């Protein structure tokens, strides 16, 4: 039986427009700039390559320039997913990226640290 995972969310502010971020969240070439070493897509299944490993995720849903939601193939049949959602603050017009993910309790700190590293790479790729 798989251990229970709990949902958590983190937010990062970006000084750019949603379209620029969304391309990096949804296209194989955009994702390979910051999320994985290489990415292929076939029939709605994204294959992510890191060093000598690969992982597959199914595209669950997306709305251009707003959100994209994936589920790791190994999590099929569960409610676990990961989602990138772009939120624009109505007052400040700041653009934020909200990430929703699921992780086992004892892995949460490591997962957040990994996201921080990945997002730092994304911001660097965007010249921010």
- Number of structural domains in the chain: 1
Instruction: Give one word for 43, left, alpha or beta, with left for phi > 0 and alpha for psi -120 to 50.
Output: left
pLDDT in tens, 61-112: 999 999 999 999 999 999 999 999 999 999 988 999 999 999 999 999 999 9
Which pLDDT belongs to residue 2?
Answer: 63
Residue 63, domain member (yes or no): yes
Tokens representing residue 86 in the block: 């772009």
34 falls within a domain: yes
Identify whether 73 is part of a domain: yes
pLDDT band, very low/low/confident/very high, at 116 (cuts 50, 70, 90): very high
DSSP 89-123: -TTT--EEEEEEEEE-GGGHHHHHHHHHHHHHHHH
Asked if residue 42 belongs to a domain, the reply is: yes
- Which residues span the domain enclosing 72? 6-125
Q: Percent of the chain at pLDDT above 70?
A: 98
Measured in degrees and rounded to the nearest 5, phi and psi for residue 72 equal -60, 140
| C-alpha torsion sign, points 110, 2, 45, 40 | positive
Q: Which residue has the tokens 């997962």?
A: 111
Give the dihedral sign, CA 23/24/28/29.
positive
Domain of 110: which CATH number? 3.30.530.20
* Domain-located, residue 1: no
In a domain, 84, yes or no: yes
| Confidence at 123, pLDDT banded by 50, 70, 90 | very high
Question: What is the model's pTM?
Answer: 0.92
**104-115 exposure pattern, b = at least 16 Cβ within 10 A, e = fewer:** eeeeeeebeeeb
* Residue 3: pLDDT band with limits 50, 70, 90: confident
């Amino acid at each position: 039986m798989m251990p229970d995972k709990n949902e958590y969310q983190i937010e990062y502010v970006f000084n750019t427009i949603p379209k620029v971020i969304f391309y990096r969240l949804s296209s194989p070439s955009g994702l390979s700039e910051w999320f994985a070493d290489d990415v292929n897509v076939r029939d709605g299944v994204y294959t992510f390559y890191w060093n000598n490993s690969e992982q597959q995720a199914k595209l669950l849903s997306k709305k251009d320039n707003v959100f994209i939601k994936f589920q790791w193939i190994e999590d099929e049949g569960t409610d676990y997913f990961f989602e990138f959602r772009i939120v624009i603050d109505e007052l400040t017009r700041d653009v934020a990226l909200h990430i929703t993910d699921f992780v086992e309790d004892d892995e949460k700190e490591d997962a957040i640290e990994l996201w921080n590293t990945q997002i730092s790479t994304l911001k660097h790729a965007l010249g921010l």
